[in-house]
Amino acid sequence: MNDPVSANFKINDPKVIRAWAFYDWANSAFALVITTAIFPAYYLAITNDMIEVFGLQVSNSALYAFTITVAYIILTLVSPLLSGIADYSGKKKQFLLFFTLLGSFSCIGLFFFQSMEEISLGILLFLLGLIGFAGGLVFYNAFLPEIASPDQYDRVSAKGFSLGFLGSLILLSFCLIMIQKPGYFGMDEGTTLPVRLSFVLVGGWWLIFSLQSLSKLPDDNRRTSYENPFKNGINEFLKVWKSSRQYPELYKFLFSFFTYSAGVQTILYMAATFAEKELHFETSELIIVILCIQLLGIAGAYVASLCSTKWGNKITLMFILFIWTIVCMVAYMTYIKSHFYFLAAAVGFVMGAVQSLSRSTYAKLIPKQTGDNTSYFSLYDILEKSAIILGTFIFGFLNQLTGSMRFSILFLSVIFVVSIILFSRIQIKNEA
């Protein structure tokens, strides 16, 4: 099989690694501003507490969770096909560009979501933005084992996540100034215009920096001529799925990753909503929480990289998962706002750590020189998306059933305990 990238490409090239990491800088603005900071609060503020959906009365927070579930169901269905086509045809960059355009323009479209009258438009654009964001990650992540050597995976992965946290923090800070002090920008107080302009800025930021990043990433070497891209794409993915079963440690990692991702990703999407509805945080207080999470996320990614060098990926990840378990249990018992700030600090630190180290650990477990990195990362991506489907659905279901998010949070602690048990059975090469 041919090499996955151009023969002229030099591995561990600082310029290429910097360009790859800056894609994280570009798209992480969506993860922070749209899914975590500004859009959830805006959505809850302009929508009714109960919304009729297909004849059923659903709480606005549950509908938010279910929208995430639907987005990831769609992605789980199409991702194997697209990743197989990308590996077979050598079009990884083209697919990454497509999802970037879909996500960024959906963000810009949220400018027109102004009230309950546009609830359908708002939900649809949020869903498409999620698809653009998460759909591109499989192709982005697949570049990691192609641009860096295995001994650099942890460091390069941490660089990407850290730049993502930093870039999104810079844009969020600007958006918050615009929202809190609209007069500085010639806008009236008490309107939704500053918030809606923030959505436009996220889309523009994502688009501009992504295009610069993509221009410097290596092209795929293969340009195979074929008649049926869909059939060949499915066959490529199925080939990798069958091949993965020959690597027991890879297989065990995927099951553990699926389990703890259900907890990590659900918390990522629902943390701000929990703080607002359960603890009655004001917007200004939520800002402090989110800034805390972002700053400590940068530290978490780098500390995880250093710890993995000293103690190995397995021990480091198991300890991180233990902290996640404690965070969920404490959150269930938290009723005082000041206590939640400490929880937010812990969440930020372990969020950056677990995301960065999971990606690099999986890259180490992928068989080398396969030329199918996109399809292998599609397995990783599909399990993460499936975990989000499971986690957000159960979270929304328990929220709807009990009228409180606390039991949903408690359920997530059980998920992390199971994931620790599963992860303890994995042996990573060159680690005890």
Is 124 a residue whose pLDDT tops 60? yes
Is 409 a residue whose pLDDT tops 80? yes
Global confidence as pTM: 0.73
Tell me what the mean pLDDT of segment 326-346 comes to: 88
Is 126 a residue whose pLDDT tops 80? yes
Residue 428: per-residue pLDDT: 77
| Residue bearing the bigger pLDDT, 412 or 8 | 412
The values of phi and psi at residue 164, to 5°, are: -60, -45
Which residue has 């990238």 as its token pair? 5
217 burial type by CB count under 10 A (0-12 exposed, 13-18 middle, 19+ buried): buried
Residue 323: per-residue pLDDT: 93
Residue 353: per-residue pLDDT: 87
User: Quick one: pLDDT band at residue 72, thresholds 50, 70, 90?
Assistant: confident
Closest CA to 35 of 388, 412, 415: 388
User: Quick one: pLDDT band at residue 139, thresholds 50, 70, 90?
Assistant: confident
Structure tokens at 218: 């290596």
Instruction: Summarize pLDDT for 262-303 with one digit per residue, the tens.
Output: 888 888 777 777 887 788 887 767 777 777 777 787 788 888
Give the list of residues 6+ apart from residue 362 with CB closer than 8 angstroms, or none.
Answer: 250, 253, 257, 377, 380
Is 149 a residue whose pLDDT tops 90? no
Rounded-to-integer distance, Cα 79 and Cα 93, Å? 15
Rounded-to-integer distance, Cα 166 and Cα 40, Å? 21
260 burial type by CB count under 10 A (0-12 exposed, 13-18 middle, 19+ buried): buried
Give the DSSP per-residue string, 376-419: HHHHHHHHHHHHHHHHHHHHHHHHHHHS-SHHHHHHHHHHHHHH
Closest CA to 33 of 126, 158, 119: 126
- In 142-282, alpha helices (H): 144-147, 153-180, 193-214, 229-244, 248-278
Which residue has 């960024």 as its token pair? 104
Q: Are strands 50-53 and 56-59 parallel, antiparallel or unpaired?
A: antiparallel
Please state, as a whole number, how many other Cβ atoms lie within 10 Å of the Cβ of residue 146.
21
**57 strand-pairing partners:** 52
Please give the class, per CATH, of domain 14-214+230-423.
Answer: mainly alpha
Rounded-to-integer distance, Cα 316 and Cα 361, Å? 11
Is 134 a residue whose pLDDT tops 80? yes
Residue 20: per-residue pLDDT: 92
User: Quick one: pLDDT band at residue 370, thresholds 50, 70, 90?
Assistant: low
Tell me what the mean pLDDT of segment 353-375 comes to: 78
Rounded-to-integer distance, Cα 205 and Cα 197, Å? 12
User: Quick one: pLDDT band at residue 427, thresholds 50, 70, 90?
Assistant: confident
The share of the chain scoring above pLDDT 70, in percent, equals 88
Is 432 a residue whose pLDDT tops 50? no
User: Quick one: pLDDT band at residue 1, thresholds 50, 70, 90?
Assistant: very low
Is 229 a residue whose pLDDT tops 60? no
Residue 3: per-residue pLDDT: 45
Is 331 a residue whose pLDDT tops 80? yes
User: Quick one: pLDDT band at residue 123, thresholds 50, 70, 90?
Assistant: very high
* CA 134 distance to own-chain centroid: 6
Is 225 a residue whose pLDDT tops 60? no
Residue type, 25: W
Is 40 a residue whose pLDDT tops 90? no
427 burial type by CB count under 10 A (0-12 exposed, 13-18 middle, 19+ buried): exposed
Q: What is the mean pLDDT of the chain?
A: 83
Is 246 a residue whose pLDDT tops 90? no
Give the DSSP per-residue string, 314-348: HHHHHHHHHHHHHHHHHHHT--SHHHHHHHHHHHH
Closest CA to 157 of 304, 312, 4, 1: 304
Residue 230: per-residue pLDDT: 60
Is 233 a residue whose pLDDT tops 90? no
